Structure 1
Amino acid sequence: MYMKIKSVAVFGAGAVGSYVIWGLSEKKDISLSVIAKGERAERLKAEGCLINGKTYHPEVLTPEEAKGVDLLIVSLKYGALAGALDDIKEVVSENTIVMSLMNGVDSEEIISTKIDKSHIIYSLIKVASHREEKEYVFNPETTIGIIYGEEAAPFESERVAAIRDLFDGTGLNYRVTDCIKEEIWSKYRLNICNNLPQAIIGAGVGCYTDSEHMKAISEGLRKEVEAVALAKGIDMSRCAGTSSRGSAVPPTARYSTLQDIDAGRHTEIDMFSGTMMRMGKELGIATPYNEYTYHIIKALEEKNDGVFDYDENSEAVTYSK
């Protein structure tokens, strides 16, 4: 029997989840829900999801109530994933497909510690969504959207076709690929090289073209990512013609890590350089650029947390030469 997706649950209604909610809310003949508990669930029920000037009211379900949905889309912040694994396990039943649209290269691996890997279809998303007070904003026309595919042949599987049917006619941009892991790693490389250095100095992306020093830092990070990828058998050149395509951004653009620091939030640095450090150590590959980047962004988080808010009554520190 031909597979048809009739129910979709989104776990994480932030910048990424909002793109999915926006696209699927007008889809006929499906049930769309957001997974939440407690105070967050009550807030979503009362306020809905404000996206591009319109308020959407998807059904709000607990993990228990969402159990057995056809498609579970995980769009959480990396730091929230570990605490959500039991909820993901609760949602997934025999025929549930799980699509993780999280940044990084290991969310599928982490999720598969709780559910069988056969449920997971690999994917990524490219959307320049940002938050303005309680509203999420993005440009649907310039958004690249969701890229997904099977890890191995057959690439044109029944569930690939079912997801294509789900997305068709929704406004969501999407593309199927037969080199999904390489595409995920290419996005990861781009995030580490372009997302992180600008966050350290607090400047727009124009810094990479206007400063040889910023270019040198970005290049150092890139070489480390590529060395680890190569050791893992990931050949990013396979998707070089597709993964590099993107939308033009102004030199003032501030990517997600800098947006988090600007807003006083903790970042996803553990997913970026933190994971690179772990993989490098496992493979015996030095990652000094990522190690420095990791610690300096952690220190910026501490600064936002008030760790360095010293006053005149703070205990004096004496240094000797």
Structure 2
Amino acid sequence: MDIKKVAVLGAGAVGSYVIWGLSARRDIELGVVADGPRGERLAKDGCAINGKIYRPAVWTPQEAHDADLLIVCLKYGALPGALDSIKAVTGPHTTIMSLMNGVDSEDIIASAVGGEHLLYSLIKVASHKEADGFHFDPATTVGIIFGEKEPPCDSPRVKAVEALFGGTELHFRATDCIREEMWSKFRLNVCNNLPQAILGAGVGCYRDSVHMKVVSDGLRRELEAIAAAKGIDMQKVDAVSGKGCAVKPSARYSTLQDLDAGRHTEIDMFSGTLIRMGKELGIPTPYNEFAYHMIKALEEKSDGKFDYSGPNQEMTWAK
């Protein structure tokens, strides 16, 4: 298997790392999948990454059809609306890697195109947006981890992706424990993204506050109980995959970045998923229920739901 045409769906924080790395390959076709006004904007302005403008091709889903590799880098809420585009891109031999957060995007994509196309994967990159585009530190980025859900783990497409990434500055590694790796990253997101987002402080809060650690640990216990009930042995990867990228104490992870920008978050994919799984398995999830409802309320606040500055306010009282 030889990868010569790579399509990237989503050119945000995660997609920028992929575009940055693969743009060094002059022997492949690299394109971002987009149409309409968004496609026009990308074609005109390019992708601003680490202070430089990158100009991958911009393909409609139909133009990207039968790409050797489709890398999905969307926000969770955008996935249902993108399934038609993913189906249009996918040809008989297309391999799909989803670098989305969470542990169920592969299942959602597989329901549209078939599980045989999926090479399970994840990314650890501390990327953020500034006025001049997306920024990340290539040196401290953990990078892309991928592997087959079922043996053989050294499949031709695993070797092909290794060869593709090997000619770049991307950090990557193949693994024979991809489900455990994905749940390990899921744990990092749930335990570090959510309490920080509620508090509105940098990640140093986990180091400096015993109270923040209590909340983070509560979320962790619930997630690990659900993982164990689903047969996920986190200890298989704790030694090599238990940490994220090194960042400054002031760093703000994706959920807080979304709230800072007035956007809705991926809380449905984080605590929402764990609450659903907990109910299915009979495992209580009080910490995740609290985080879910608090962040949903913060989204409502961003939407202006709690703006009580008008002149004729109806009286209310505590109940």
**What's the TM-score once normalised by structure 1's chain length?**
0.97
Secondary structure of 2:63's aligned partner = helix
Structure 2 spans left out of the alignment, 5+ residues = none
Whole-angstrom distance in 2 between the partners of 1:13 and 1:92? 19
Q: What amino acid is aligned across from residue 51 of structure 2 in structure 1? A: G
Please state if 1:231 is matched with 2:239: no
Q: How far 1:315 moved relative to its partner?
A: 3.5
Residue-by-residue CA offset, 1:120-139 (whole Å, 9 max, x unaligned): 00000001111002411111
CA distance in 2, matches of 1:169, 1:245: 26
SS of the equivalent of 1:64 reads coil
Choose from 138, 157, 167 the match for 2:136: 138
Partner in structure 2 of residue 73 of structure 1: 71
Q: Give 3-state SS (helix, strand or coil) of 2:119's partner.
A: strand
Select the residue among 19, 44, 54 that pairs with 1:46: 44
> Deviation string for 1:159-201 (max 9, x for gaps)?
0000001001211010110001000000001110011001101
Query: What CA deviation, in whole Å up to 9, does each residue of 1:68-103 have, x standing for no partner?
Result: 000000000000001001110111111000000000
Task: Show the counterpart of 1:152.
Answer: 150
Distance 1:204 1:99 in 2: 30
Counterparts of 1:48-67 in structure 2 under 5 Å?
48-67=46-65
* Contact 2:124 2:143 survives alignment (8 Å): yes
Check whether the contact 2:33–2:61 (CA below 8 A) recurs between aligned residues: yes
Q: Give the conservation status (yes or no) of the 8 Å contact 2:51–2:132.
A: no
Tell me the TM-score normalized by structure 2.
0.97
Deviation at 1:63, TM superposition (A): 0.7
Whether 2:85 is the aligned partner of 1:87: answer yes
2:120 maps to which residue?
A: 122
1:27 alignment partner, SS class: coil
**Residue identity matched to 1:283:** L
- Residues 314 and 5 of structure 1: CA distance in aligned 2, closer, same or farther (over 3 Å): farther
* CA distances 1:24-59 after superposition (whole Å, capped 9, x unpaired): 112021100000010000000000001111111111
Q: Which residue of 2 aligns with 1:19?
A: 17
SS of alignment partner, residue 97 of structure 2: strand
Aligned letter for 1:224? Answer: E
Measure the CA separation in 2 of the matches of 1:7 and 1:320.
Answer: 60
Partner in structure 2 of residue 271 of structure 1: 269
Secondary structure of the residue aligned to 1:73 is strand
CA separation of 1:314/1:300 partners in 2, compared to 1, >3 Å: closer, same or farther? Answer: farther
Moved more, 17-26 or 200-209: 200-209
Q: CA deviation at 1:319?
A: 2.9
Distance in 2 (CA, whole Å) between partners of 1:199 and 1:93 is 40
Q: 2:251 aligns with which of 225, 230, 253?
A: 253
Q: Deviations over 1:203-223 (max 9, x none)?
A: 111111221111111111001
Task: Quote the offset at 1:311 in angstroms.
Answer: 2.0
Aligned runs of 1:105-254 on 2, under 5 Å? 105-254=103-252
SS at match of 1:124: strand
Give the 3-state SS of the residue equivalent to 1:66 in structure 2.
coil
Q: Distance in 2 between matches of 1:61 and 1:109?
A: 25
Q: State the shift of 1:312 in Å.
A: 3.9
Q: Quickly say closer, same or farther: Cα 1:154–1:320, change in 2 above 3 A.
A: closer
Aligned length: 319
Task: Report if aligned partners of 2:188, 2:243 keep a CA contact under 8 Å in 1.
Answer: no
Q: What's the offset of the Cα at 1:248?
A: 2.8
Q: Cα distance, 1:249 vs. partner?
A: 2.3
- How much identity, in percent, do the aligned residues show? 65
* SS of corresponding position for 1:251: coil
Distance 2:17 2:204 in 1: 26
Offset of residue 149 of structure 1? 0.5
Partners of 1:282 and 1:134 in 2: CA distance: 45
Output the amino acid matched with 1:32. L
Off by >4 Å, runs of 4+ in structure 1 = none
